[in-house]
Structure 1
């Protein structure tokens, strides 16, 4: 791993870790979104080029030399170690008290997004980890995990952003998360980063969420993708992995997760989950109202 990540200039409040592997076209769009909507914000982008052979290193080196790059971009490379290891490297090099795990096929679309995240963690001190798409809640199931499909059975794991319609205005407590998410660096210092036992990826962040909760913080989720804070191009990189291999790895890691946390799930699943008011800016609230109206109109036409 390259220890010489080039240093951005200002001390950031949010470090955004982006692992990328031979996905240069998407990465260009990804970084352009941060340039257009977060220039001047207290944000550093830490890009880990993971065994790239498509010109990514040269692109990042050139971009880092620009005025924008000197202010916002740091990067390094690894020898194809996959997302979990790249994320941990980025977390270890993050200078901000908040660290975001972001994909290279996610495109920032709103200037109000970063200010809302900073206010959220500042004003909700018990919140340790925040999912930016959909969180997960677990229910104990007696049947063993035998296939990959068992790992996503709704009886066992429910994807959620909280009950409608108030989920437009709230962050809801959840058990665990999927990417993208933001975590306090303080939490990582207390419980450790993503567990390498889950390499190359999958269920690592759910395990992290349970460790953070066990240490006394809450885990929450809000549907920022639905709010159009960002667009996700449906896992372009993951989609190139053979599905049978991916499902086999997912099943293996799910078994490890449920072995560790099955008793906790059994004990905690009936608890009442809390919620918090969003700490949105005026622009964020206006965007929410507009998007909620579009959503309601779309449902009306569909109905």
Structure 2
């Protein structure tokens, strides 16, 4: 077993987002203090007091999971995530944003049980996955890269997606990956830095090595909340589209033949390994969706 019984390493990259980071850390302190978890905060050239806050927190101690801090010089998300991978001591590594807030103590036990039960799953998304479809047309614009005909966002078919995990081709953060899989295929490819399309590239490399990628809507189940937008706020919209086109083009250059050959395959599914608390929370959320108070798609 990894040092101190750690099974899950949670990598949190942060840049000048201290009030939000504090909320993220509080979620892990409140709901995972007794779990076999370590937090690795990658402080990415912060100038807003984050560095000092984390140093003080380590000096005086806190009552949450094991906490470590690494420093990068404004390297952005992808490079910071890879730094966290190198630092991680757990057999599973979770890529987490600093604007994601854990809200349930049952999520970590379910993730650990799921990856133990299903060794063919190399990576599991906690939000949504992507199905890639072959389109017989070139990628020339940013809109081409995200065309729904090419890249379909999915939780898997309803209503069984409340109770099952579904195989996908690509993912969006947050996601948990096996350390053994990273050791086999390598970390996120820094050709995609600062970010975008790196995750789906990793999924295709994992599939080529024999692992599947899966998704389940844990945020929809109430396990966590994603505030959104604070990570992307570092890059103006036009620049993001330029990066998205460049990285999307690289992704399709690498994997278009594989997509053409495999997009019509039958994809696997797995029953969730939820705790009783997880099933109860899911039932409550499903009831809310059924009554029309939330979008169930």
Deviation at 1:298, TM superposition (A): 1.9
Task: Give the TM-score normalised by structure 2.
Answer: 0.96
Contact kept, 8 Å, 1:11 with 1:95, in 2: the verdict is no
Between stretches 9-18 and 137-146, larger displacement belongs to 9-18
The answer for the alignment partner of 2:222 in structure 1 is 228
Give runs of aligned pairs for residues 1-303 of structure 1, distance below 5 A.
10-68=4-62, 71-298=65-292
RMSD: 1.7
Deviation at 1:47, TM superposition (A): 0.3
Deviation at 1:241, TM superposition (A): 1.8
Deviation at 1:70, TM superposition (A): 7.9
Q: Which runs of at least 4 in structure 1 moved beyond 6 Å after TM superposition? A: none
* Unmatched runs of 5 consecutive residues or more in structure 2: none
Q: Secondary structure at the match of 1:143?
A: coil
Instruction: Tell me the matched-pair count.
Output: 295
Deviations 1:29-61 (A, max 9, x none): 000000011011100000000010001011111
Contact kept, 8 Å, 2:39 with 2:65, in 1: the verdict is no
* Unmatched runs of 5 consecutive residues or more in structure 1: 1-8
Contact kept, 8 Å, 2:288 with 2:294, in 1: the verdict is no
Deviation at 1:235, TM superposition (A): 2.5
Deviation at 1:11, TM superposition (A): 3.3
Contact kept, 8 Å, 1:64 with 1:70, in 2: the verdict is no
Q: How many Å separate the matches in 1 of 2:89 and 2:43? A: 19
Q: Secondary structure at the match of 2:69?
A: strand
Contact kept, 8 Å, 1:10 with 1:71, in 2: the verdict is no
In structure 2, do the counterparts of structure 1 residues 301 and 198 end up closer, same or farther at CA, with 3 Å as the change threshold? closer
Deviation at 1:239, TM superposition (A): 2.7
Deviations 1:166-197 (A, max 9, x none): 00000000011111100000000000000011
Q: Secondary structure at the match of 1:226?
A: helix
Deviation at 1:10, TM superposition (A): 2.6
Deviation at 1:301, TM superposition (A): 11
Q: How many Å separate the matches in 1 of 2:33 and 2:219? A: 20
Deviations 1:213-271 (A, max 9, x none): 11001110000111110000012121342000000001000000000000000000010
